C-alpha cells in the first residue's frame, strides 16, 4: 500500500486495503488505515472517507491520536472541513500537524479571517505553519498582510525556504511591488548559497510582471538549466506588459531549445493570441495542441474557447468546445460569454439550460449578457431566479444587477437589491458602491448618490468618475469641476472617462471657458488624446452656447473622421439656435454614415419648425413618405409595484389599455371644462 501511494497510484493502494478488509484477520495495525486515508484524501473520495471513519470507530481505533490526525487530514483534503473541525475539536491536545491542516481547511471553507484566527491561537508554530499562512494570504490577494507575515516569520527566527520565497515573490508580482521584490531578491542572494529553480522562476515572474524585463532576462540567463515554468513565467510577464509580439518571439525561442512544452505554456501563449490580429497564430497553436495531444486537457480546451471568443469568432469557439472530450463549468460559462459577445442571446441561453452544474460566475455571465444586450428586465429576472435557487451572490452579481436598475431607472427595485447587498456583506464593496452611486444619479437622487460616494472609504477612479458623471447628468457642472479638483488633490490620475464627465458637466451648465481649459489640459497635462466622445462633448458645449461656427471649425480640426455623435451634437445645437443651413450640412454628413435616417429627418423637421419654416417641415415629411421612411415611435415608461410599464405612441398592446384611455378621456374632459392646461 505504501509503495503504491508513494509512487502516485492511490487507487491501487485502496484496492490493496480492500483486500485486507476482506481478510478480517489482517486488520491488526493502524498503518494500513493511515495509508488508506492518505489515498482517500488524495483522490477526494468523501463517501469512502465516511466509511473509513465509521470502520475505525467500529473497531475502536478512532481514539488513537495518530489516527485522529489522519482522519482530520483526510476530511480536509476531501473538502469536508466541517467534519474535520468536529474531529479537531475533540482532540485534547492537537499537534502541529492538526493545526496546520485545519488552517488550510478553514481558508478553503470559511475564508482567510478564520484561518488567521486559528493561526494566532496556536500554542507553538513551525515553518510549515508560517508557510501555510503566507501561502493562503498570497493566494487570496492580500498583499500587505502577506509581506507583513513574511517579515514577522523572519523576526521570529524561522528561516524561509523556497516555498516561502516563491509565495512572497508571487505576491510582489501580482501587485507590481517592484521595490519590495528587489529588496527580497537582495536578501535571497545574501542568505542563500544556491537558488533553486522555484525561486529563480519566481524572480523571473516578478520582474517581468513588474515591467522590468531587463532584470527578468538577467534572472533567466543566470540559470544553468531552464524548464517550462521558467519560460512560461517570462512569456506571461512580457505579455502582461502588453508586448504580445515579443512574447510570441520568446515562445519561438523556447521551442528551439530542448524544453518540453506543457499545457501551462500553451495556455499562456493562447492568451497572447486573444486579439483579432493574432488569431492566425492562435489557429496554429490550436493545430499544435491537436498534434501534441494536449487538446484533450480541459484547461487547454477552455483556453482555446476564450481565445476564439475574445477574437469575436464564436463559431470556432463552439467547435473547440464540442471537440472537448470532457468539459467543466468554466467551459460552459466561457461559451455563454462567447455567444454573449456576438449578441447571440438564444444560444447563450441554450448553453445555460443544458448545464448540469452552475456556479455564481455562470449566473453572473447570464445577467451581464442580458444587460449588455439591452434586455435589462431579463437580467433582473435572472437575479431573482438566482436568489430563489439559493445561489450565493458575489460583488459582481450586485454591481451588475444594480447597473440594470440604473439603466431602467427602477429606483424601488434597486433599493431592494442594495438591501440584499448589505445583508450578504457586500454593501461596502467599492464596485457595488460605485453602481449604487450611478443608480441614484440616474434616478435623480443626486443627494443620496453623494452620501454613498462620501461613505466609500477606499475610493477608486471609478468612484470619482461615477460621482462626476452623476452631477453632470443632473446639470451641476460646477460641482463636477469641484469634485475633479478634489480628485487631483487626492493624487488620483484622471482617465479619458474622467474628462468626458467634466466636459459633459461644462456643457450642461454652459461653462464654455472651463470646458475649453479642460479640453486642452487633458492632452497637455496627462497625455490623454481626445476621442469621438470628447469632441462630441465640446461640439455640444459650443453649440449650446450659440458658438455654432466654433463648433463647426472644431469638427474640421478633428484628427479623425467625425462620427454620428459629433454631427448629432451639431444638429441638436442647430435646433436650439434655429440655423437650418448648418442643420442641412450636418444632416448630409449623418446620412453618409448610414445612421438611423428617420431620427435625422425628424430632427431636421424640428429645426425647420423651430425656425418657423413650415414649408421646410412639409418638404421633409414628403421626402420621408417618398422614401418609405417611418419614424420610430416615441417611448415612455413608468414603474408601479416593481414592474416597468412601457408605452409607445398609439399604444394598443397593454392589457389595461382600455382603462388607461378611459381615464385619459376623463382627464381631458375635466381640463376642457376648467381650462386648466
Beta bridge partners of 640: 643
User: What is the CB neighbour count within 10 angstroms for residue 392?
Assistant: 10
Residues recorded for the chain: 677
The alpha helices in 510-593, defined as continuous H runs, are 512-526, 532-544, 548-556, 564-576, 580-592
Residues 295-328 as b/e (b if ≥16 CB within 10 A, e otherwise) read: bebeebbbbbbbbbbbbebbebbbebbeebeebe
- DSSP 3-state of 648: strand
Looking at residue 345, what is its pLDDT? 92
Looking at residue 433, what is its pLDDT? 94
Supply 55's cell numbers: 470502520
Question: For the purposes of burial, counting CB atoms within 10 Å of the CB of 377, is it exposed (0-12), middle (13-18) or buried (19 or more)?
Answer: middle
Expressed in angstroms, the distance from the first to the final Cα of the chain is 93
DSSP 8-class letter at 637: E
Looking at residue 64, what is its pLDDT? 67
Low-confidence ranges of the chain (pLDDT < 50): 677
Looking at residue 26, what is its pLDDT? 53
Looking at residue 403, what is its pLDDT? 92
Beta bridge partners of 647: 636
Closest CA to 52 of 571, 559, 632, 77: 77
Looking at residue 416, what is its pLDDT? 92
Looking at residue 677, what is its pLDDT? 46
Q: What does the pLDDT look like over 47-102, one tens digit per residue? A: 888 888 888 777 766 566 778 888 888 888 888 888 888 888 888 888 898 999 99
The alpha helices in 7-126, defined as continuous H runs, are 10-22, 31-43, 46-58, 65-77, 81-90, 96-109, 112-121
Residue written as cell 433582473? 380
Contact of 323 with 295, CB cutoff 8 Å: yes
Contact of 501 with 533, CB cutoff 8 Å: no
Rounded-to-integer distance, Cα 431 and Cα 449, Å:
14
Beta bridge partners of 617: none
Supply 18's cell numbers: 480492500
User: What is the CB neighbour count within 10 angstroms for residue 415?
Assistant: 17
The alpha helices in 78-174, defined as continuous H runs, are 81-90, 96-109, 112-121, 127-139, 143-155, 162-174
DSSP 8-class letter at 295: G
Cα distances from 146 to residues 137, 160, 167, 311, 517, in angstroms, run 5, 13, 9, 37, 45
Rounded-to-integer distance, Cα 72 and Cα 76, Å:
6
Cα R_g (the chain), whole angstroms: 32
Rounded-to-integer distance, Cα 42 and Cα 76, Å:
10
User: What is the CB neighbour count within 10 angstroms for residue 264?
Assistant: 16
Contact of 272 with 278, CB cutoff 8 Å: yes
Q: What is the separation of C-alpha 580 from the centre of its chain, rounded to a whole number of angstroms? A: 47
Rounded-to-integer distance, Cα 79 and Cα 275, Å:
38
Beta bridge partners of 639: 644
Contact of 587 with 599, CB cutoff 8 Å: no
Supply 126's cell numbers: 513551525
Supply 425's cell numbers: 456583506
Amino acid at each position: 500500500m505504501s509503495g503504491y501511494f508513494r509512487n502516485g497510484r492511490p487507487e491501487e493502494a485502496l484496492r490493496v486495503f480492500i483486500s485486507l478488509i476482506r481478510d478480517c484477520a489482517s486488520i491488526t495495525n493502524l498503518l494500513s488505515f493511515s495509508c488508506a486515508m492518505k489515498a482517500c484524501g488524495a483522490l477526494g473520495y468523501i463517501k469512502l472517507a465516511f466509511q473509513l471513519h465509521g470502520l475505525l470507530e467500529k473497531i475502536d481505533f478512532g481514539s488513537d491520536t495518530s489516527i485522529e490526525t489522519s482522519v482530520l487530514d483526510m476530511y480536509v483534503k476531501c473538502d469536508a472541513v466541517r467534519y474535520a473541525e468536529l474531529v479537531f475539536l475533540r482532540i485534547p491536545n492537537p499537534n502541529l500537524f492538526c493545526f496546520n491542516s485545519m488552517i488550510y481547511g478553514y481558508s478553503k471553507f470559511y475564508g482567510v479571517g478564520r484561518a488567521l484566527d486559528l493561526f494566532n491561537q496556536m500554542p507553538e508554530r513551525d515553518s510549515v505553519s508560517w508557510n501555510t499562512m503566507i501561502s493562503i494570504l498570497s493566494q487570496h490577494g492580500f498583499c500587505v498582510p502577506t509581506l507583513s507575515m513574511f517579515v514577522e516569520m523572519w523576526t521570529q527566527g524561522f528561516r524561509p525556504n523556497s516555498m516561502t520565497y516563491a509565495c512572497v515573490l508571487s505576491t510582489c508580482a501580482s501587485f507590481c511591488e517592484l521595490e519590495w521584490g528587489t529588496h527580497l531578491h537582495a536578501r535571497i542572494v545574501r542568505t542563500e548559497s544556491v537558488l533553486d529553480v522555484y525561486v529563480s522562476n519566481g524572480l523571473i515572474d516578478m520582474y517581468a510582471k513588474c515591467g522590468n524585463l531587463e532584470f527578468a532576462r538577467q534572472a533567466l540567463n543566470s540559470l544553468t538549466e531552464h524548464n517550462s515554468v521558467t519560460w512560461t513565467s517570462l512569456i506571461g510577464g512580457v505579455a502582461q506588459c502588453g508586448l504580445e509580439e515579443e512574447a510570441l518571439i520568446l515562445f519561438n525561442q523556447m521551442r528551439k531549445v530542448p524544453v518540453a512544452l506543457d499545457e501551462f505554456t500553451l495556455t499562456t501563449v493562447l492568451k497572447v493570441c486573444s486579439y483579432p490580429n493574432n488569431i492566425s497564430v492562435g489557429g496554429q497553436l490550436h493545430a499544435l495542441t491537436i498534434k501534441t495531444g494536449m487538446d484533450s486537457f480541459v484547461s487547454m480546451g477552455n483556453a482555446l474557447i476564450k481565445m476564439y471568443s475574445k477574437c469575436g469568432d464564436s463559431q470556432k469557439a463552439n467547435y473547440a468546445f464540442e471537440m472537448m472530450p470532457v468539459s467543466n463549468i468554466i467551459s460552459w460559462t466561457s461559451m455563454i460569454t462567447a455567444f454573449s459577445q456576438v449578441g447571440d442571446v438564444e444560444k447563450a441561453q441554450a448553453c445555460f439550460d443544458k448545464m448540469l452544474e452552475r456556479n455564481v460566475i455562470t449566473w453572473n455571465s447570464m445577467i451581464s449578457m442580458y444587460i449588455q444586450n439591452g434586455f435589462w428586465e431579463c437580467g433582473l429576472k435572472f437575479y431573482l431566479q438566482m436568489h430563489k435557487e439559493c445561489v450565493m451572490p458575489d460583488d459582481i452579481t450586485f454591481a451588475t444587477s444594480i447597473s440594470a436598475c440604473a439603466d431602467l431607472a427602477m429606483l424601488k427595485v434597486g433599493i431592494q437589491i442594495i438591501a440584499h447587498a448589505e445583508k450578504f456583506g457586500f454593501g461596502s464593496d467599492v464596485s457595488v458602491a460605485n453602481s449604487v452611486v450611478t443608480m441614484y444619479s440616474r434616478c435623480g437622487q443626486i443627494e443620496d448618490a453623494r452620501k454613498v460616494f462620501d461613505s466609500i472609504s477606499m475610493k477608486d477612479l471609478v468612484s470619482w468618475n461615477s460621482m462626476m458623471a452623476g452631477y453632470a447628468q443632473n446639470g451641476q457642472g460646477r460641482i463636477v469641476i469641484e469634485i475633479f479638483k478634489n480628485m487631483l488633490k487626492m493624487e488620483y490620475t484622471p482617465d479619458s472617462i474622467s474628462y468626458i464627465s467634466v466636459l459633459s458637466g461644462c456643457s450642461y451648465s454652459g461653462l464654455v471657458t472651463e470646458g475649453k481649459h479642460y479640453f486642452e489640459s487633458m492632452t497637455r497635462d496627462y497625455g490623454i488624446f481626445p476621442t469621438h466622445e470628447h469632441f462630441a462633448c465640446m461640439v455640444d458645449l459650443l453649440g449650446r452656447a450659440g458658438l455654432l461656427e466654433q463648433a463647426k471649425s472644431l469638427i474640421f480640426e478633428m484628427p479623425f473622421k467625425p462620427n454620428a455623435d459629433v454631427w448629432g451634437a451639431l444638429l441638436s445645437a442647430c435646433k436650439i439656435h434655429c440655423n437650418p443651413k448648418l442643420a442641412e450640412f450636418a444632416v448630409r454628413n449623418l446620412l453618409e454614415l448610414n445612421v438611423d435616417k428617420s431620427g435625422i429627418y425628424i430632427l431636421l423637421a424640428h429645426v425647420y419648425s423651430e425656425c418657423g419654416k413650415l414649408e421646410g417641415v412639409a418638404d421633409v415629411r414628403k421626402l420621408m413618405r417618398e422614401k418609405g421612411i417611418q419614424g420610430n415611435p416615441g417611448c415612455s415608461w413608468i414603474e408601479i409595484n416593481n414592474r416597468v410599464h412601457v408605452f409607445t405612441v398609439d399604444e394598443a398592446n397593454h392589457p389595461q389599455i382600455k382603462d388607461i384611455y378611459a381615464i385619459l378621456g376623463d382627464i381631458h374632459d375635466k381640463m376642457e371644462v376648467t381650462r386648466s392646461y
